[in-house]
Amino acid sequence: MNVSYLLVNSAGKYPDRTAIISEEKHFSYKAFNQRVNRLAHAMRQHGLKKGDRVAIMFFNTYQFAEVYFAAVKSGAPATPVNFRFVADEIEYIINNSGACFFFFGKEFEETIASTYHSLSEVKHFVCVDAQKGGFAHDYENFLSSGKPDEPEVDICENDPCQIMYTSGTTGKPKGAVISHSNIVWNLFNTISGREDKSEEISLIIGPMYHTAGLNNHFTIQIALGGTCILIKKFEPETVLRYIEEKRVNVISGSPSMYNILLQHPKINDFDTSSISKCTAGAAILPVEIKEKLLKIFPKANGIYDVYGCTEASPTITVLKGKDSFGKHGSVGQAVRFLQVKVIDEGGNTTPPNRIGELICKGPNVMQQYYRDHKATEEVIKNGWLYTGDLATIDEEGYFYIVDRKKDMISSGGENIYPRELEEVLFGHPAVADAAVVGIPDAVWGETVKAFVVLKKGMSMDAQQIINYCKEHLASYKKPKAVSFVESIPKNPSGKVLKRLLKAL
């Protein structure tokens, strides 16, 4: 089975069912599949060959979905590009991937025009509502030149399907080569772990250039014959309106997204009773937010916490809704078809509740980093993916992420884990958001600094924050310094960019 089969199968079974809602446009499975086919044929008519890379830079729109599946059906690895990138970052991704087709939204035409001469391997640029006489084909004109029947391309399970560039939180992004087989196994694992059902209506809020948005939220709905409502830009009132009007069943997001949604002043004015599943990822969801979400979504049976990484396509563990509060802080158990364990510095499996690095092995682990053999060898050893996350496992097989290995703070010989302190800060009623980093200290090597966002109308000083932490944790763990900021810098998947905080 390859990924293109997922769409073909659903289009055959549910031709008249709505597959995609994108702003004001609705597409049935039959119509969506035919547009995908036209686009695939158009690309092939313009010289696309199996194995060529196709770059995609859109907000969450139907064009992204069409280009993605058209590339997949052509045997051309899709290379999504972060739409927040500036010209230099776009240039790096496009040239590193060697993409020969580049599809993008109208919003990015000016940025790409400033750098397209440097994108030497791109043979065809395609833009929505492209300027006449410009450097790019117009999207609709390009698509309409193809025919609607299925492309005849021999695609194997082990063929590359995606080159997904990592978040780049520690340096330049690396391209994870993810095969059709990786994605299909991730689909099996995630559906089983999240207890997903067929024919649901789901909001696709997380950016689709990320593995969670693309593989876990969008592709799974296509495989199950569901309806995907693509959210172009996250705006709380737009999300609430869709939930009420479209009777949405599934919502997924990061803790920061849910935090913003819950603070919307009109949230209680909307009917959100149709939501039966709420899933979270990117970071641990504080208990306070979980409790508020279940009041807003009364028919949701707990919150499903999903842990993973790009290199695992992405799912590694899932905490089921029924365990939301009984196993708070846990990211759940290993998904069905994946081996997961925690090891010490010597490579030995740790006993329960002992901190070590989480590693995993299975059919959803990426093939390699594109054009980076050294980086591949650093994270994949004897088939095991070394995640760089510090974790523990309890006696029942539930995993707990302690922190990123690189984020651990060593102060006076004691190890301090920022996530533990952040959980305490989230518990304060005046704190809207927080992040903790280690900063150099001449005496202790490193010391703790907290960055805090206060809720509107609230006020605190640094000493009050420090005293609060001291009440809930050992004294050596408390922050020595506190900065109050308007927002915590995060990447689009909701992960805190601690290198930017350290730079402050």
**Domains of the chain, earliest start first:** 3-8+25-179 (3.40.50.12780), 411-503 (3.30.300.30)
Which of 402, 387, 218, 219 lies closest to 316 in space, CA to CA? 387
Cβ atoms of 423 and 284 closer than 8 Å: yes
Q: Per-residue pLDDT for 169 more than 70? A: no
Which of 249, 308, 304 lies closest to 279 in space, CA to CA? 304
- Write down the pLDDT at residue 409: 85
Cβ atoms of 357 and 391 closer than 8 Å: yes
How are beta strands 137-138 and 250-253 bridged, if at all? unpaired
Which helix or strand (DSSP H or E) is residue 252 part of?
strand 250-253
Q: Per-residue pLDDT for 172 more than 80? A: no
Q: How confident is the model at residue 413 (pLDDT cuts 50, 70, 90)?
A: low
- Write down the pLDDT at residue 406: 75
- Amino acid type, 248: V
Q: How confident is the model at residue 89 (pLDDT cuts 50, 70, 90)?
A: confident
- Say if residue 298 is preceded by a cis peptide, omega within 30 of 0: no
**Helix ranges restricted to H, 123-248:** 139-144, 180-194, 211, 220-223, 236-246
pLDDT tens-digit series, residues 202-226: 999 999 999 999 999 999 999 999 9
- Write down the pLDDT at residue 493: 62
- Write down the pLDDT at residue 108: 96
Q: How far apart are CA 207 and CA 224, in angstroms?
A: 20
Taken in order 344, 358, 371, 180, the sign of the CA dihedral is: positive
- Write down the pLDDT at residue 492: 63
Mean pLDDT rounded to a whole number for the chain: 93
- Write down the pLDDT at residue 335: 98
Cβ atoms of 77 and 163 closer than 8 Å: yes
- Which residues, 6+ apart, have CB-to-CB distance to 251 below 8 Å? 202, 203, 205, 239, 243, 275, 277, 278, 279, 297
- Write down the pLDDT at residue 112: 96
Under DSSP, is residue 210 helix (H, G, I), strand (E, B) or coil? coil
Q: Which pairs with CB-CB distance under 8 Å and at least 24 residues apart come from 65-68?
A: 65/20, 65/22, 65/32, 65/208, 65/218, 65/228, 65/230, 66/32, 66/35, 66/36, 66/39, 66/143, 67/39, 67/103, 68/208, 68/214
- Amino acid type, 396: E
* DSSP-derived secondary structure for 24-83: TEEEEHHHHHHHHHHHHHHHHHTT--TT--EEEE-SSSHHHHHHHHHHHHTT--EEE--T
pLDDT tens-digit series, residues 120-160: 899 999 999 998 889 999 999 999 999 999 999 999 999 99
Which of 70-79, 261-270, 433-442, 484-493 is modeled with the greatest confidence?
70-79
- Amino acid type, 377: E
- Residue 504 to residues 416, 483, 501, Cα–Cα distance (Å): 21, 10, 5
What share of the chain has pLDDT > 90, as a percent? 77
- Write down the pLDDT at residue 477: 86
